[in-house]
Amino acid sequence: MPLPTVPTDAFLLNLPKAELHLHVEGTLEPDLKLTLAARNNIELDQKTIEEVEASYQFNDLASFLAVYYPAMNVLQTEEDFYELAMAYFKRAAANGVKRTEMFFDPQAHTSRGVPFADVVNGYYRATQDAAQLGVSAELIMCFLRDFTAESAAEHLELSIPFKDKILGLGLDSDERNNPPAKFADVFAKGRELGYKLTMHCDIDQIGSIENIRQVIEDIQVDRIDHGTNIVENPDLITVVKEKGLGLTCCPVSNSFVTADMKAAEITQLLRDGVKVTLNSDDPAYFGGYIGKNYIDYAAKSGVSSAEMVQIAKNSFDVCWISDEQKAQYAAEIDAYVANFHE
C-alpha cells in the first residue's frame, strides 16, 4: 500500500504540487530585505532580522497590507526583482513545487518611480531560470484594487509590449469598498488581449458573497483566489462546480488575517467536489511556504492521504496549461505515490 496511512510531513512536503496563489513580493524574507536595503542605501527602521520579524504585527488584511507595501521600498533594480523571485523558486523546489503561476504587483513599484519594464524583466528572467530548478513558472500581473480603475487601465496598456511574458491578470490588496465590478472594463479588455483572469475574494470580507458572485458571473474569471466563503451559499458552490473553477486557498495566511485557517470550510468544499488547492500567499510574512500549508491543513483537518493527493492533483488540474501537461503532472503524482515508502 504506497499511500501512507496518515499523510506524513515528508509525504506532503515532497508531493508534486502547483502553487497558484503566491505573491512574489510576499516572499521577501527579512535577510534579503536587509541585504537589499544596504545595497540600495535605503534607510530602514529595523537593523536586524529579529527587528524585521518583530515589525510583522497584523491581525487582519488591512493591518497586514500596512506592513507589506512599505517593505517593498528595498526593491529598486531589475536585479533585485530577479533575486527575490529566484530565492522563492529555490524554496518552492524544496517544497515539491513543479509549477507556479505567481502574482506580482507592478503598481506597488511604479508608484515609487520604479520602471514597469525593470519589474517585469527581472521577474521574467527568473521564471526562465526557474526551469533549472525543475520549476515551471509564469507570471500573473495583479492590479491593486484600492488604486483607481484608471491606474489599472494604464498598467494594462503598459503590459501590452510584455504580453508574451505575462500569463494572466489578478486583483489583490484591500477588498473593502473595492468590489470586482470596479474593474469590469479593465478585465474585459484584458480578456480581449488574451490574458487569463483571476481575482482575490478574500476571507470574511464585508460583501464576500456578492463579490464572489461578481467575479463568477460578471467578470467570468478562470479561477478564484481564496473564495472559501462560498460555503455560506449553496448556489455559488453549484456554479463553481459546474464551471470547474479552482479555488486557491491559503490556510496559514487565513490564520493570520482571520481567527482560523478555515480548514473545516476547505474540507467541506473538497468533499463536495470543488477543485480546492492549497497555497502559501505571502510566506515570508506568514511563516510558512507551501509545504507547511499542506502539513498544517492536513493536521488540523484530519483528511486522508488520498484527499491530500486529490488536492495536489487539483492544483495541476486548474493550472493554465495544456491538457497534455496536466496529464503529465498527474502521472508524476501517481508515480510519486506508487514509489513512496514510509
Which residues sit at the interface with ligand ADE, rule CB under 6 A?
23, 26, 61, 172-173, 200, 202, 253, 281-282
Q: Is 27 exposed, middle or buried (0-12, 13-18, 19+ CB in 10 A)?
A: buried
DSSP state of 26: G
What one-character-per-residue DSSP string does 118-172 give?
HHHHHHHHHHHHGGGGT-EEEEEEEEETTS-HHHHHHHHHHHGGGGGG--EEEEE
Cell of 299: 493536521
Residue pointed to by grid coordinates 530548478: 133
Cell of 291: 509545504
Check: CB of residue 138 under 8 Å from CB of residue 22.
no
- Half-sphere exposure of 167 toward its Cβ, with a 13 Å CA cutoff? 19
Min separation Cβ 22 and ligand ADE, Å: 9
Min separation Cβ 249 and ligand ADE, Å: 11
Min separation Cβ 264 and ligand ADE, Å: 20
Q: Considering only 49-57, 162-170, 184-192, 279-287, which stretch makes contact with Zn ion by CB under 5 A? A: 279-287
Judged by CB, which is closer to ligand ADE: 26, or 246? Answer: 26
Min separation Cβ 252 and ligand ADE, Å: 11
Q: Does 25 bind Zn ion (CB under 5 A)?
A: no
Dihedral over Cα of 320, 322, 325, 329: its sign? positive
Judged by CB, which is closer to ligand ADE: 11, or 64? Answer: 64
Partner whose footprint covers residue 173, from ligand ADE, Zn ion, none (CB < 5 to 8 Å by kind):
ligand ADE
Q: Does 296 bind Zn ion (CB under 5 A)?
A: no
Cell of 244: 470547474
Min separation Cβ 173 and ligand ADE, Å: 5
Q: Considering only 60-68, 139-147, 257-265, 278-286, which stretch makes contact with Zn ion by CB under 5 A? A: 278-286
Q: Does 118 bind Zn ion (CB under 5 A)?
A: no
7 vs 11: CA distance, rounded Å: 6
Min separation Cβ 254 and ligand ADE, Å: 9
Judged by CB, which is closer to ligand ADE: 56, or 336? Answer: 56
Judged by CB, which is closer to Zn ion: 24, or 87? Answer: 24
**Residue ranges that bind Zn ion, judged by CB under 5 A:** 281
